Structure 1
Amino acid sequence: MPSALRLRLGLTAVLAASAVLALGAFYAGDSEPGPVDARLGTAAYDVGPPWRNVALALDFLGEPAGATALVVTLMAGCLLLRRPRAAALVAAGATAAVVTATLLKSLVGRTIHGDGNLSYPSGHTAFATALALAVALAATGRLGLGRTAASALVLGAALTAGAAMGWAQVALGAHYPTDALGGWCTALAVVPAAAWLVDRTADRMTGRAGGRTVERRTDGTTRRPPGRRPANRPADRVEDRRAGHTADRNAGRTAHRTADRTTDRRPGRSTGARTGRIAGRTPGRTADAVHREVR
């Protein structure tokens, strides 16, 4: 997860989880559409071709066969782009969203078209939204977007995918509109947590390997972990040898300059000798001028 989006996605996850719980408590044990469902669902129920065919195609992507094919395709694309954390987030985010939605259905107990058809929240909508969030998080790092642009991309992708799948479920009569809303909020609540967990686990595994100084997040961005580099690495040994050679050269130069100053100050050497040496080094200057300078 991009560090710039952690706070925003964290707050979004908290609000989404609150919405899921509030709607679940309101519609617990119910089997009839609520006031919101009656208003929103009237325009979407019983659509005809070609929109019904579009709804059926979207619905297939949420079924076990279609969902598996979609997840495998996205993971393969992430691995080809060398984004293993993004591939892990695709699998973890989709799985977390579907499992959470399934558990909530049993807890809430809302039904549609009979007692055996649990409806809240919509698992199809949660699945589609989770995939869109995972892909958008990977794209933010790949494109190098700023905080505002990245937030717009992530939330826009989640809204588009959730609205499309939610409309398909309502149009086919499989869910109420509030079921789709609950599925959308479920994905917004669990995917940021899944992204944090993937990054945390990958960081620990990279730290145990001990061979990398740069770590890659689920969105493709990198960070340098704290602490010193592992000891006895070839690069460290080369730097140590270079530092040793530099220290030896500096020590040699210092000793040479010290010896020159000591020689100049030895007893027995007259001011005239020093004057002659300086005059020899400074063409065009008279011995008297140099003698006065030395004195």
Structure 2
Amino acid sequence: MTGRPAPEVLPPSLRVRLALIAALAALVVAVLGVLHAHDSEPGVVDARIGAAVDGAGQPWRYAALATDFLGEPAGAATLVVAAVTACLLLRRPRAAVLVVAGVGVPVGTTTLLKHVVGRTIHDGNLSYPSGHTAFATGLALVAALLATGRLGLGRAAGTALVLGASLVAGAAMGWAQVLLGAHYPTDVLGGWCTALAVVPTTAWLVDRTAGRLPGRTADPGRRQRV
């Protein structure tokens, strides 16, 4: 008996498209970072969007607080542990590694960029790019990549799923951050683009690293006879 190679967490059919998207997203992050470096006030677009969501009633604020909690340490840890547990139960250790790396790298990148850009909000709190938005987007991207591989989706369907999931998750968390006054809208856009820029590369590195490890590379849940 021999094992089949463990499925890649970055579907080969999406590599080129996601590489192009990642490059464009990185450019957006860089441009916004330069434009808002060391700012402490909202830009024109920030002010207009902020005014549009200002004054939302309590039901909306409760929803925003609940969404924000999912990006806080306790909420984020709960989501990550649940996702990792699900991957291990499905005997997908490489997927479990991607879950951890796929949210850790975007959050770590935003933390570094905050100190580099130096944009602040509310008494000097570093704000660009939004780590909460990067976390939510990163987790959605990981889930969409794994679903694409699991379901065997083609290039068009897989790309639509990845972008759609990232947009929904990023928009939901971004809306909460703006409504609660924790971030400017351009901070949110920067966080979303940060995840789009680094998660595909992270998935590729997980595949490359796993492929070079000694010992069995087979998925223990899937075997064939020879």
Query: Structure 1-normalised TM-score?
Result: 0.70
Aligned match of 1:179: 187
Aligned residue among 56, 74, 83 for 1:47? 56
User: Relative to 1, partners in 2 of residues 1:62 and 1:35: Cα closer, same or farther, differing over 3 Å?
Assistant: same
CA shift for structure 1 position 141:
1.2
Match of 2:169 among 138, 147, 161: 161
SS across alignment from 1:50:
helix
Where does 1:86-235 land on structure 2 (aligned, <5 Å)?
86-115=95-124, 117-205=125-213, 208-209=214-215, 211=216
Amino acid at match of 2:133: T
Deviation at 1:86, TM superposition (A): 1.4
CA shift at 1:83, angstroms?
Answer: 1.8
- Equivalent of 1:65, from 62, 66, 74? 74
Counterpart Cα distance in 1 of 2:84 and 2:202:
16
Q: Distance in 2 between matches of 1:89 and 1:56?
A: 27
Q: Is the 2:92–2:219 contact (alpha carbons within 8 Å) kept by the matching residues of 1?
A: no
* 97 and 81 in structure 1: CA distance in 2 versus 1, 3 angstrom threshold: same
Compare CA radii of gyration and give the structure with the larger one.
Answer: 1
Deviation of the 1:215 alpha carbon: 6.6
Deviation at residue 38 of structure 1 after TM alignment: 1.3
> Whole-Å Cα distance in 2 between the matches of residues 215 and 95 of structure 1?
24
CA distance in 1: counterparts of 2:93 and 2:144, whole angstroms: 15
The secondary structure found in structure 1 opposite 2:58 is coil
**CA distance in 2 between partners of 1:83 and 1:148 (Å):** 25
Answer 1 or 2: which has greater strand percent: 2
Aligned to 2:5: none
Whole-angstrom CA distance in 1 between matches of 2:64 and 2:161: 24
1:6 aligns with 2:15: yes
Offset at 1:15? Answer: 0.5
Aligned to 1:259: none
2:23 maps to a residue whose letter is: V
Offset from partner CA, 1:77-127 (integer Å, 9 cap, x none): 111122221111110011001100000000101011122x11100000000
Instruction: Give the SS at the match of 1:18.
Output: helix
Where do 5+ consecutive residues of structure 2 fail to align? 1-9
C-alpha deviation, 1:46, in angstroms:
3.8
Runs of 4+ in 1 over 4 A off after TM superposition: none
Deviation of residue 47 (structure 1)?
2.0
Q: CA RMSD in A?
A: 1.7
CA contact (8 A) 1:120 1:179 kept: yes
Q: Which has the higher contact order (CA 8 A, sep 6+)?
A: 2
Contact 1:40 1:177 in 2 (8 A): yes
Gaps (5+ residues) in structure 1? Answer: 223-234, 236-295
Paired residues in the alignment total: 214
